[in-house]
């Protein structure tokens, strides 16, 4: 028997896969929230109706804090500032179509933006984070 631990899939894998575009986005209700409720429900093992924006917010902030080290707090706060939030996915069109600013949406959008660009494989091809495969019973595969 080997002394090595088997590679474990990262607990936030589906959030990262979502951020990286492996799942169809904005498909549940036309917003990021419907999609993230489905991921959060799967993560927690509960039905979606028991998931709140705050649950998703706390989970994504925790994931981002654990994975992105260190986070530049000034940059993070600047990019969720209502005056700058249009620059941060998924709110980049908010000034064009006059979407009302929402703090939780701004933070979640920034967290997803940061998670989108994390390295999961190093320059030698070694896995830095094990994401496993997307689970298309949670959300559909992104159309190519």
* pLDDT score recorded for residue 138: 93
33 burial level (CB within 10 Å; 0-12, 13-18, 19+): buried
* pLDDT score recorded for residue 94: 42
d(CA 116, CA 108): 12
Q: How many CB atoms lie within 10 A of CB 76?
A: 17
pTM of the model: 0.81
Proportion of the chain above pLDDT 90, given as a percent = 41
* pLDDT score recorded for residue 98: 54
d(CA 21, CA 31): 15
- Please identify which residue in the block is written with the tokens 């090595």: 4
131 burial level (CB within 10 Å; 0-12, 13-18, 19+): middle
- The list of the chain residues with pLDDT below 50 reads 1-6, 88-89, 91-97
Q: pLDDT digits over 94-111, tens only?
A: 444 456 778 888 889 889
CA distance from start to end of the chain = 43
* pLDDT score recorded for residue 44: 92
* pLDDT score recorded for residue 99: 62
* pLDDT score recorded for residue 7: 54
Q: How many CB atoms lie within 10 A of CB 112?
A: 23
């Amino acid at each position: 028997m080997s002394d090595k631990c088997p590679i474990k899939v990262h607990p936030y894998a589906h959030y990262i896969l979502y951020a990286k575009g492996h799942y169809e986005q904005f498909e549940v209700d036309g917003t990021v929230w419907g999609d993230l409720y489905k991921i959060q429900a799967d993560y927690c093992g509960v039905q979606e109706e028991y998931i709140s924006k705050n649950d998703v917010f706390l989970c994504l902030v925790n994931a981002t804090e654990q994975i992105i080290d260190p986070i530049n707090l000034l940059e993070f706060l600047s990019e969720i500032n209502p005056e700058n939030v249009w620059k941060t996915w998924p709110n980049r069109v908010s000034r064009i179509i006059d979407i009302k600013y929402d703090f939780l949406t701004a933070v979640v959008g920034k967290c997803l933006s940061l998670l989108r660009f994390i390295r999961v494989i190093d320059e030698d091809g070694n896995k830095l984070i094990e994401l496993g495969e997307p689970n298309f019973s949670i959300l559909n595969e992104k159309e190519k």
